[in-house]
């Protein structure tokens, strides 16, 4: 009974969510786009000519937003390169290179290198989150593991002057993750965009400029 009530409440909130309505109106695949939009508008992350990688990109709203920001190249197309990586399938997005698979696997990395053509990445985006169990210590370890993967990816593929934006949760293990970011990046900012639901502990960490580039 309680679960049904929870599902109904969630559905009611979701249907009446202004960000859900706005996403539908503007053709974005998820309300999460407005989290990136707010952070991008305050931090000027996405600029023409950049190479951007979107980790865990499905269903694709962050890639859509990045694509729209880089659009306007003469003759069509975008001024820059966007690569989306995810283990889940994703419907195509114009001008976005999508690679399905685990970015720890060699064949996926080979496909990535083929698109990069020797270039380093300007911006790494990660809206990845694990399946949460409700057990604080277990979930903290899962979140930390995913963020470790994003940091490792950035260290391997990003320009020293680049930026990494990751989704995190302000709870058990957050201080350890924050300490890792401060160890890796010269500038570390915490962001809680308006589109993050009030009752959610979701927070985004932005790291700029690698301290010890690979």
End-to-end CA distance of the chain: 53
For 37, the token pair is 């939009």
Task: Give the C-alpha separation, 93 to 166, whole Å.
Answer: 22
Task: Give the C-alpha separation, 136 to 101, whole Å.
Answer: 28
C-alpha distances (whole Å) from 161 to each of 81, 178, 192, 202 are 17, 19, 23, 26
Task: Give the C-alpha separation, 148 to 105, whole Å.
Answer: 16
Phi-psi region of 30 (alpha: psi -120 to 50; beta: other; left: phi over 0): beta
**Count of Cβ atoms closer than 10 Å to residue 155 Cβ:** 15
The residue from 21, 120, 167, 186 that is catalytic is 167
For 154, the token pair is 């950035």
Tell me if residue 167 is catalytic. yes
Tell me which DSSP letter residue 131 carries. Answer: P
* Contact yes or no for 155/214 (Cβ under 8 A): yes
Q: Which positions are annotated as active-site residues?
A: 167
């Amino acid at each position: 009974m309680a679960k049904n009530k929870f599902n109904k409440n969630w559905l009611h909130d979701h249907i009446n969510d202004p960000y859900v309505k706005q996403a539908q109106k503007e053709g974005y695949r998820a309300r999460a786009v407005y989290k990136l939009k707010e952070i991008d508008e305050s931090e000027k992350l996405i600029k023409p000519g950049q190479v951007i990688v979107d980790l865990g990109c499905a269903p694709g709203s962050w890639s859509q937003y990045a694509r729209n920001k880089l659009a306007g190249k003469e003759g069509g197309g975008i001024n820059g390169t966007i690569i989306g990586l995810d283990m889940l399938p994703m419907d195509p997005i114009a001008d976005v290179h999508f690679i399905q698979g685990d970015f720890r696997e060699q064949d996926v990395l080979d496909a990535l290198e083929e698109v990069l053509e020797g270039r380093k990445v300007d911006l790494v985006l990660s809206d990845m989150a694990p399946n949460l169990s409700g057990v604080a210590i277990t979930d903290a370890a899962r979140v930390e593991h995913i963020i470790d993967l994003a940091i490792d990816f950035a260290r391997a593929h990003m320009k020293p002057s680049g930026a990494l934006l990751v989704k995190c949760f302000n709870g058990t293990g957050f201080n350890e993750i924050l300490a890792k970011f401060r160890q890796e990046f010269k500038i570390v900012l915490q962001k809680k965009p308006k589109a993050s639901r009030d009752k959610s502990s979701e927070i985004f960490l932005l790291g700029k400029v690698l301290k010890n580039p690979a």
